[in-house]
Amino acid sequence: MKRIIGLLTLFLPMTLVCCKSEKPVGENPFFAEWETPYGVPPFDRIAPEHFLPALERGMSLHDAEIDAITSNHDEPSFENTILAYDNSGAMLSQVALIFDMLCAAENTPELEKIQVEVAPLLTAHADKIRLNEQLFERIKAVYDRRTTLGLDAEQLRLVEKTYRSFVRAGALLDAQQKARLKEINGELALAAVKFANNIRSENNRFVMMLSSDELDGLPANVRELARERAAQLGQKDKYAFTLQKSSLIPFLTYSTKRERREEIYKAYLNRCNNGDEFDNKQLINDFIRLRTEKARLLGYPSYAAYVVDDQMARTTDAVYGLLDEIWTPALERAKGELADMEELFRKDYPEGEFASWDWWYYAEKLRKQEYALDEEMLRPYFSLENVQTGIFFLANRLYGITFRPVVVPLYHPEAVAYEVLDADESHLGILYFDFFPRDGKSQGAWCGNYVEQSFDGEGRRVAPVVSIVCNFTRPTANTPALLTLDETETLFHEFGHALHFLFHDVRYRGLSEVEGDFVEMPSQLMENWAFEPELLRQYAVHYRTDEVIPQYLIDKLRRSRLFNQGFMTTELIAASLSDMDIHSITEYEPFDPMAFEREALTDRRGLIPQIEPRYHYPYFSHIFDGGYAAGYYFYTWAAVLDKDVFEAFRESGDLYNKKVADDLRRKILARGGSADGMTMYRDFRGKDPDKRPMLRSRGLWTDPEPADSLSGKASAAAPRVGRARTDARR
């Protein structure tokens, strides 16, 4: 997972966080001003026991602030209503943000227990405010007069976004409907906590212990990591493989033991689908039942329609139009890839049947055959330290910013922190890195805030505290952490999110977030530089010999850039379609999630059995506990934008063009959600986004006249992102 959205940040942008129970309790650090370097949270003093009292006090203070707004007898104005509301709840937001981030990065049994207790409390608190009739009357009064108040563009957008957020939260419902909506929201909040904790438990309980004679094909560093993990588990003469991607993917890629590849991959695929205490299928039914009912209460035919209405796409037709356009050529390309691999497979298993757990292994063999390229020959050039250096170099080259290690409180000993300095050496923010897997950490990779960018009462910018959290391959006793190409790309991706947070210069908290299908653009954009030859020569240096990556390897990387794209695109779009399908249900009836998925992807769309969707429902954290419900398509929609932004650099003749980078920062990255995504995009690019660079990047550019926009209309003109006017699924 490239980005996770927090569960409990009810008044915050979509972000993510945790603490050790052995820390001294003492005075609650949330009840006093932090005297920490750069305003970072005092992780050295925060203990799990502090969260519930701090959240309760935060809710109480927030209630008082809302009461002050509703009891004001002056005519509602931008200042006494909209701005007052935007400034309210600061303490609650800060505590909830830290709690949420820690529960993803460094969870403990104590925190899990608190999660279950506070999730419905925070949800009820949010509902009490969003369904407060007196507060909404004042907000509506300002909204109705918004064009006569002399507001500037950002103030006007804040008024409109605030009003719309209340309407979408149920402000126009009657008393009975509001009561039911509160019940639904409380149940959904608790279901999300249970879903996430079940996945974490499943990930932690599976270990495949192997003896030394079962390691054929595995590179030395993979064996060493497995040996060290087994030793940690008390098995000194064994080798432990887990469901963490840094363990799973290398095993699937290199192990010659097909039966063992099948064992570990099936364990991964069947997480939370085993009919035990961690089974998530009933929770999935609960999610869909409750979300469908919520959408109908709010006037939408489905939860997907409710979600998409607030995004750039606006309609589910527009989403399906994009996904369907990519699905067929991607699947056909994947079938071609399969045919090539089956030739190799038949040499090993003349009578066998190629299965999904064979894909990584034979794809790697095919890459060696077609491009004489072995990822293991590349990894020595991609040490974690080198990749991080390359990212810092890129950020400096584009934006002039620099990074300086600092000593600050850490929430875990493995985390590291940097002060980020702007081009004029002013303080821009703090950036934490947390790279390696551990039992208390959720899977995947994400970026979030511990402290949001804001402005204090005297108009001074409060710098953000940002964190990148990953689950990368650990170093061993003999080698540093050597990243795969996917891990390298992931770090560039998450760093793009970090830059977006760090560059924020937004006046109002309510305008900090962009639309969900725009939010992945800054992160995916950074991936475009990861393997550019000039940048590779800056950071891809052999960790032992200090040799810069040779040109012949760069050439091989470039020639193989479309390798396996059919598979990668198909598994991505499959997950996006299954997400949209399950959230497009208009009338809930109890169902088997796995049967629903098979019908949607295999029976109806022809997904081949050798490819699994990127996520099956029982562990699809993005859409059930991560805030991407009916939104996994965000990555694909944003890909149209990020590839077209990169074209702006290409068209300039300089991939590090400072003017283009400055325009990007000023017109998009610094603005948060102070304008809608398409307005900001057009302001930067001077035109609508072109879909062709995205299609080319996936090897899918075959039609000389593709659909010209995300609405699916064909034209000879340059393709543009548009909006469909109707939604047939309503």
Reduce the DSSP state of residue 164 to 3 states and report it: helix
- Mean pLDDT, residues 412-425: 98
- Tokens at 653, concatenated: 């003749």
- Banded pLDDT at 457 (limits 50, 70, 90): confident
Note whether 438 and 427 are within 8 A (CB).
no
pTM (two decimals): 0.91
Q: Same domain for 56 and 174?
A: yes
End position of a domain, from candidates 215, 247, 269: 269
Q: What's the pLDDT band for 24 if we cut at 50, 70, 90?
A: very low
Question: In this predicted structure, what is the pLDDT of residue 11?
Answer: 37
Tokens coding 712: 């699916």
pLDDT exceeds 90 at position 528 = yes
Residues 171 and 214 both lie in one domain: no
Asked if 240 contacts 230 with a C-beta cutoff of 8 angstroms, the reply is yes
- List pLDDT tens digits, range 55-102: 999 999 999 999 999 999 999 999 999 999 999 999 999 999 999 999
Establish whether 183 is a catalytic residue. Answer: no
| 170 and 230 housed in the same domain | no
pLDDT band at 720 (very low <50, low <70, confident <90, very high): very low
pLDDT for the residue 703: 53
Q: Is 125:32 a contact under the CB 8 Å cutoff?
A: no
Residues 229 and 101 in one domain: no
Percent of the chain with pLDDT over 90: 91
Of 106, 487, 494, 571, which residue is the catalytic one? 494
**Domain encompassing residue 243:** 206-269
Given a cut of 60, whether residue 710 has pLDDT beyond it is: no
215 in the same domain as 189: no
User: pLDDT tens for residues 639-675?
Assistant: 999 999 999 999 999 999 999 999 999 999 999 999 9
- Pairs from 233-242 (Cβ < 8 Å, separation ≥ 24): 233/207, 235/209, 237/211, 237/212, 238/209, 238/210, 238/211, 239/209, 239/210, 239/211, 239/212, 239/214, 239/215, 240/207, 240/208, 240/209, 240/210, 241/207, 241/208, 241/210, 242/203, 242/206, 242/207, 242/208
Helix (H) or strand (E) holding 210: strand 208-210
324's CB contacts (< 8 A; 6+ apart) are none
* Lowest pLDDT segment from 4-18, 119-133, 139-153, 163-177: 4-18
Average pLDDT over residues 196-221: 96
Using CB atoms within 10 Å of the CB of residue 318, give its burial: 0 to 12 exposed, 13 to 18 middle, 19+ buried.
Answer: buried
More confident residue, 709 or 670: 670
Report the number of secondary-structure helices (H) and strands (E) in the chain. Answer: 28, 9
Sequence-ordered list of residues with C-beta below 8 angstroms from that of 645, at least 6 positions apart, any chain: 521, 525, 664, 684, 685
Query: Would 295 be classed as within a structural domain?
Result: no
Q: Are residues 36 and 161 in the same domain?
A: yes
Domain tally for the chain?
A: 2
With respect to residue 74, please indicate whether it lies within any of the assigned structural domains.
yes
In a domain, 109, yes or no: yes
Same domain, 58 and 41: yes
Regarding whether 223 and 258 lie in a shared domain, the answer is yes
- Specify the DSSP element, H or E, that contains 279: none
Tokens of 704: 């000389």
701 band by pLDDT with thresholds 50, 70 and 90 = confident
Provide the CATH number for the domain around residue 168: 1.10.1370.40
In terms of residues, how long is the chain? 730
pLDDT over 80 at 566, yes or no: yes
- Regarding whether 149 and 220 lie in a shared domain, the answer is no
169 and 112 belong to one structural domain = yes
